[in-house]
Chain A
Amino acid sequence: MSDLSIRTISADEHAAYLAAQPSASFLQTPGWAAVKSEWKAESLGWYDPSNPGELVGVALVLYRQMPKVKRYLAYLPEGPVIDWDAIDLGRFLRPLAAHTAEQGAFGLRMGPPVATRRWTAKTIKDAIAGGQQPKLGDVRADVIEPSGATVAAQLRALGWKAPKSGEGFAAGQPQYVFQVPLAGRSQDDLLKGMNQLWRRNIKKADKLGVEVTLGTPEDLKAFHQLYVETAERDHFTPRPLPYFVKMQAAMANQPADVCDFRLYNAYHEGDLVASTIWVRVGGHSWYSYGASSTAKRDVRGSNAIQWRMMSDALSAGATVYDLRGITDTLDPNDSHVGLIQFKVGTGGEAVEYVGEWDLPLNKALYTAFDLYMRRR
């Protein structure tokens, strides 16, 4: 099999291709380029030279400039969107490397949307309770995905560098995420999968009259106020309001309606107690950002809003509800375990992805960039 061809494509072509796929990451939609407007971006499409009209894969590439030189790291967050089960991934990746090198890239980074292992909520709970304080990666998985190993082996053979564990580029996407599988399940099944506390809190919120509604772009301001309040409580640096305004505008209005972007609000007697951002591309739905009030915790707005987002993902035909990143610590003495505990309560599963892989195109510049990022 000879290599495929690659060319720049329009946002319309890009979105139409994604809309026909069972799922893709929202970070691979053309709209995401507008959200990350400080980077140059381009939509790329692969096609067989004998049939130039038909795309067989697409990618959103963000060109991240290196300090002081006009050279770039070409970054494909949670992409590209290609057939990862292909016998020869080189047919896709060689042309990608050649094309981005022409655009001035000194290196490539991508995050193949390929799962390697899965752990059920019960396995994780037992591992935390076991007191061995393992890393998630050291715990025996419940499912080993065959694609994971073959993709990793191919990438190595093609000269790509495996993800560095621990320190490295801090810009990347998480290798471990937590997801609730939705395929073939009913609302009742979802509730049964949750732990008692989640079920109790969902019931409680309902009884106390918490109402979850879909927000409009005008509600972003109220969302942002709550998000800043959350950031103050939890000591993280909040993004400014314009970022979310830009994100809403860019993500919600894409060609082919490729991305379903929603704001949810949970109210109790007129007070906003929780507010979240929900995104769906095909069968993949995400809880992207969340905020909750300090007051009125006891009405359990956070659980109510999660339940609504999950139920809506199910009725929209999604197969996965993705709560995004988790750290791999299962040490009960580490406060990060709290985040895992919250997500584990949904009864879903932890999923390990193959992680972010690098291909140096210019060795010297790539090494310099790597050092620069580590020392930042």
Chain B
Amino acid sequence: MPLILHIDSDRWRDHLRSTWNADIIPVAKGNGYGVGNPRLLAEARALGAKTVAVGTYTEVPPDSKDDVVVLSPWRSFLDVPQGKNVIHTVSRLADLVSIPAGSRVLIEVQTSMRRHGIGARELRHTMLLNALDRIKFEGWSLHFPMGAGGTSANIREAAELGKQARAVRQGPLWVSHVPAQKLADIGENVKLRMGTGLWLGDRGAFTVRATVLDVHSVRRGERVGYRQRRVTGDGHILVVSGGTAHGVGLEAPTAAASVRQRAIAVAKGSLDAAGMALSPFTIEGKQRWFAEPPHMQASMLFLPSSVAPPAVGDEVGVDVRYTTTIFDKVSMD
């Protein structure tokens, strides 16, 4: 039995409609924020978006009529789809002269992110000025950091860099990680790329459910699992759907920003070291411990005897990161 993402489609689409406007470019990349890119592209079209953004060239939909912006910068060694609807991001001077003439191009400017982009001091380089007429210039692109104190700093930086870039060549400014209602503070003709805020902006519309596949009663000290660990008390072993193949139990490095978050990370880390790990599966309103590391498609949990075990076939809740989980099914309810 599968790991299923249930979406309350009316509630989700209400949120999409109230969030999206013509200045917002929906982003569909990676695992499609758990929902899957094909569905996101269909929803974007239903909203009325004429342009969408994808992460990489491999994510460009093969037969799209709409404009598709590729966020990863163009490189000469990449396999690039030839469609006239593809808008490339160019982040280095060398690429401006190497990309095929006539390509549709957004020029990315380096921000405090320091990831990709042409530095502000290179914006008037003769090579850039000359290259502007080799290509079909579609605008400037800026990518900002997220989180603590970010918003006002990002707005300031966007306004400043935008002014510098537009002094070189007029065109739309494409930004990320800026609140939609603040776009006017940056200037005229600003487009906002939006992924998480759009698709996952109302988590209440999403429920993830796993299925109980097996239940066994165990006594304290009995060995269980591939690794034959002893259980810590009397209770039940539950086998539930959802394992490493779905991304369950796999964590990206912590992005803990506050002291409290760090403390939690440290505590979790020491529990990890002791071989104890809290699972994302919730039973009776609480996250339950893994009995051992998750298997490929299922996980073994330990449920203490104080809690009545669910029956085989029951569904349990799962708290996962949508961008790192591959669901067996997305159900539009």
Decide whether A and B assemble into one complex.
Answer: yes
Binding site for B on A (CB under 8 A): 128, 131, 196-197, 201, 230, 232-235, 292, 294, 297-298, 300, 302, 332-339, 341-342
Interface size class of B (residues with CB under 8 A): 20 to 34
B101 contacts A197, C-beta separation under 8 Å: yes
Q: A233-B129, A336-B94 are in contact. List 14 more A-B contacts (CB 8 A).
A: A128-B98, A197-B134, A201-B133, A230-B126, A233-B125, A294-B124, A294-B129, A297-B129, A297-B130, A300-B133, A337-B98, A338-B131, A341-B98, A342-B127
Q: Knowing A197-B101, A292-B126 are in contact, say whether A338-B93 is a contact too (CB < 8 A).
A: yes
A298 contacts B130, C-beta separation under 8 Å: no
**Is B138 an interface residue when CB atoms closer than 8 A count as contact?**
no
Nearest-neighbor residue (CB-CB) of A201 within chain B:
B133
CB-contacts of B125-146 with A (<8 A): 125-127, 129-134
A333 contacts B130, C-beta separation under 8 Å: no
Nearest-neighbor residue (CB-CB) of B76 within chain A:
A332
A-B contact count (CB 8 A): 63
Q: Which residues of A contact B75 (CB under 8 A)?
A: 333
A335 contacts B92, C-beta separation under 8 Å: yes
Nearest-neighbor residue (CB-CB) of A293 within chain B:
B129
Nearest-neighbor residue (CB-CB) of B168 within chain A:
A294
Q: Knowing A131-B77, A197-B134 are in contact, say whether A335-B124 is a contact too (CB < 8 A).
A: no
State the Cβ distance, B109 to closest chain A Cβ, in Å.
16
**A339→B126 CA distance, assembly (Å):** 10
Top 8 closest pairs, chain A to chain B, by CB: A332-B98, A332-B76, A338-B97, A338-B127, A335-B94, A233-B124, A335-B93, A341-B97
Q: Knowing A233-B124, A333-B76 are in contact, say whether A338-B134 is a contact too (CB < 8 A).
A: no
Q: Which residues of B contact A235 (CB under 8 A)?
A: 121, 125
Q: Which residues of B contact A294 (CB under 8 A)?
A: 124, 129
Q: Which residues of A contact B127 (CB under 8 A)?
A: 234, 335, 338-339, 342
CB-contacts of B51-77 with A (<8 A): 75-77
Q: Which residues of B contact A342 (CB under 8 A)?
A: 97, 127, 130
Q: Which residues of A contact B76 (CB under 8 A)?
A: 131, 332-333
A302 contacts B130, C-beta separation under 8 Å: yes
Nearest-neighbor residue (CB-CB) of A200 within chain B:
B133
Binding site for A on B (CB under 8 A): 75-77, 92-98, 101, 121, 124-127, 129-134
Q: Which residues of A contact B131 (CB under 8 A)?
A: 338
A-B pairs with beta carbons under 8 Å apart, 5 shown: A233-B129, A292-B129, A337-B94, A337-B97, A338-B130
A298 contacts B133, C-beta separation under 8 Å: yes
**A302→B124 CA distance, assembly (Å):** 15
State the Cβ distance, A179 to closest chain B Cβ, in Å.
20
Q: Which residues of B contact A338 (CB under 8 A)?
A: 93-94, 96-97, 127, 130-131
Nearest-neighbor residue (CB-CB) of B92 within chain A:
A335
**A292→B83 CA distance, assembly (Å):** 35
B125 contacts A234, C-beta separation under 8 Å: yes
Q: Which residues of B contact A292 (CB under 8 A)?
A: 126, 129
A332 contacts B94, C-beta separation under 8 Å: yes
Q: Which residues of A contact B134 (CB under 8 A)?
A: 197
**A298→B130 CA distance, assembly (Å):** 9
State the Cβ distance, B108 to closest chain A Cβ, in Å.
15
**A233→B127 CA distance, assembly (Å):** 10
Nearest-neighbor residue (CB-CB) of A341 within chain B:
B97
Q: Which residues of B contact A201 (CB under 8 A)?
A: 133
**A294→B164 CA distance, assembly (Å):** 13
**A335→B93 CA distance, assembly (Å):** 6
A297 contacts B132, C-beta separation under 8 Å: yes
B98 contacts A234, C-beta separation under 8 Å: no
**A297→B98 CA distance, assembly (Å):** 20
Q: Knowing A197-B101, A197-B133 are in contact, say whether A234-B93 is a contact too (CB < 8 A).
A: no
A234 contacts B126, C-beta separation under 8 Å: yes
Nearest-neighbor residue (CB-CB) of A195 within chain B:
B101
State the Cβ distance, B240 to closest chain A Cβ, in Å.
48
State the Cβ distance, A204 to closest chain B Cβ, in Å.
9
**A131→B76 CA distance, assembly (Å):** 7
**A201→B101 CA distance, assembly (Å):** 14
Q: Which residues of B contact A334 (CB under 8 A)?
A: 94
Q: Which residues of A contact B94 (CB under 8 A)?
A: 332-338
**A297→B125 CA distance, assembly (Å):** 12
**A332→B129 CA distance, assembly (Å):** 18
**A234→B95 CA distance, assembly (Å):** 17
Nearest-neighbor residue (CB-CB) of A128 within chain B:
B98
